[in-house]
Amino acid sequence: MKTISLSGLLILFILIGCEDMVEVDRQSYVIAVGIDVTDQDGIYAFTYQIANPEAGSTLAGIGAEQIPDETITVFGTDIMTATNTANSFVTKQIILDQTRVLIVSEALARSDQFLRIMQSTARTTEIRRSIQIIVSKENASDFINNNSPVLEQRPHKYYQYMLSRAKETGIIPDADLHRFFQITEGDADLFLGIYATTTYDPKELDGSEDEFVAGQVPKEGGNVTQFMGSAVFKEGIMIDRLTGEETRICNILDKTMNINEMLANYPDPLAPEYQVATDVFQTDNPKVNLNYDSEMNHATIDVTVPFEVKILAIPSLIHYSQNEDFKRTLRDAIEQYITDATDELIKKSQEAYRSDPFYWSIYIRRHFKDIPAYEEGDWHKNIYPNADITVNYQLKRLHFGKMLDDTKLDEVRD
């Protein structure tokens, strides 16, 4: 008798743990959440892209054609209640644990509602801080509906691979929720969100490969979705967008961003009608040397960026590799080109944005004794817009790849 009652008690204890249990096949995994504005203030349209776990798995069999995801849109005031509303026609419990991206329409990002909706997102336990924030040019619901990757049909893989590859090349920033709150709450810098679109609006080809924002990249075939450039947020409101090239510069100058390598074209100094294709890699973090004059509340910033370049192609067939003079010209030209582009961006940020997208406020902090003094100094209203900034690119090494020299054009064509 005693054993029976004891074991009964034991089972009771173990089974209490099942209170929160939900079977895996009774959950709907949302991969992407889209948020749009509606006509009414405080009401948003939430779009959920729900993954179908059976699609693409080997167990699903060959005959049955499984669609990889389902997209639904509901209206509500915040993510969690909208999730509940969605359950009026979604059969299973909607789970946000696996959500990878949060897509916000540009219209919402540019309104002052954006910070409110983000705040309620952060409060949700299920939402992770590693979710990436994407700003779409069109409505987020259209973005999710139009996006139809062919090779990566399963949506979680698609977002994961797409974003990690684009980040490696530096054309989009690393824009997770964590960083968004860091920068927005820190109230000192500009946050860069990923800019993407599914509408195609090609720009005239001018030879350079990264002076686009999403939607302008000329292409044929492939998915309609483009991730390119970034949306600039100041104090939680989107104020502008940066092209892929500008985003790259931000990534280079920001020590908290990691970019592995990037392929970039630069105008050929000796034959301006051609471009030199290069692979640029950053070997070290930029050295930011910040001097602060507390009486004048004025800062002088010297930035040194060491980098290396591997030449991939020289269509003009000029012998850069063996002629020292040519080589020096090429080095200077590349350094000059990046420096000019950077100076232009810095000027734009100082004058138009009046804040920095490079997360440089971390360097000024050591010059203050405590936080009240630091907030008094006001990095992004007073110090940065008036700072003297010099950026110095140092091309450490110039590699020429596996070819010693290019084809001798005059010899071939004699």
Partner 1 sequence: MKVDRRLSSFEMFTLTSILIGIKLTDTTPSLFSQKAQNAFWYIPLLAFICILPAFLVLLYLLYKHNAKHFVHLFELLLGQGLGKSLAFIIFILSFVMIALDSRNYVEQIKILYFQRSSILIIFVLFGSVCIFGAIRGIEVVGYTTRIFWPFIRISFFILAALIFESVVWQRIFPIFGAGVPVILEEGVSKGSLFLDFFLLTMAFSAFRKPSQFIKGGLIGLIFSIAEITFFFFLYTTVFDYNSIEKISFPFHEVTQYVNLGDFFTNIETFFMVFWLLATFLRFILLLYLITWLFGAIFNIDEFELLLLPMGFFLMVIGLLPDNAVVTELIYRNKLLNIITPVIALVPFLLLLIHFFKRKKDLT
Pairing of strands 27-37, 93-95: parallel
Q: Which is nearer to partner 1, 45 or 118 (CB)?
A: 118
Stretch of 205-213, 277-285, 362-370, 390-398 lying at the interface with partner 1 (CB under 8 A): 362-370
Residues of this chain, 176-235, that bind partner 1 according to CB under 8 A: 178, 181-182, 185-187
Does residue 373 belong to the site contacting partner 1 (CB under 8 A)?
A: yes
Does residue 97 belong to the site contacting partner 1 (CB under 8 A)?
A: yes
Instruction: Give the shortest CB-178-to-partner 1 separation in angstroms.
Output: 6
Instruction: Among 116, 128, 298, 348, indicate the residue that binds partner 1 (CB under 8 A).
Output: 128
Three-class SS state of 37: strand
Does residue 93 belong to the site contacting partner 1 (CB under 8 A)?
A: no
Could you tell me the two tokens for 43? 């009401």
Does residue 15 belong to the site contacting partner 1 (CB under 8 A)?
A: no
Instruction: Give the shortest CB-75-to-partner 1 separation in angstroms.
Output: 24
Q: Which is nearer to partner 1, 256 or 323 (CB)?
A: 256
Instruction: Among 7, 87, 130, 283, indicate the residue that binds partner 1 (CB under 8 A).
Output: 130
Q: Which is nearer to partner 1, 204 or 370 (CB)?
A: 370
Pairing of strands 237-242, 262-267: unpaired
Rounded CA gap, 167 and 114, in Å?
24
Rounded CA gap, 256 and 51, in Å?
32
Cβ-based burial of 263 (10 A; exposed 0-12, middle 13-18, buried ≥19): middle
Instruction: Give the shortest CB-171-to-partner 1 separation in angstroms.
Output: 19
Based on its alpha-carbon atoms, the radius of gyration of the chain, rounded to whole angstroms, reads 26
Q: How many residues bind partner 1 (CB under 8 A)?
A: 32
Stretch of 17-25, 218-226, 306-314, 406-414 lying at the interface with partner 1 (CB under 8 A): 17-25
Long-range contacts of 237-240 (CB under 8 A, 24+ apart): 237/109, 237/110, 237/111, 237/112, 237/114, 237/115, 238/106, 238/109, 238/110, 238/114, 238/135, 238/193, 239/110, 239/353, 240/352, 240/353
CB-based contact 249:349 (threshold 8 Å): no
Q: Give the footprint of partner 1 on this chain (CB under 8 A).
A: 13, 16-17, 19-20, 97-98, 125, 128-130, 160, 164, 178, 181-182, 185-187, 255-256, 362-363, 365-366, 368-374
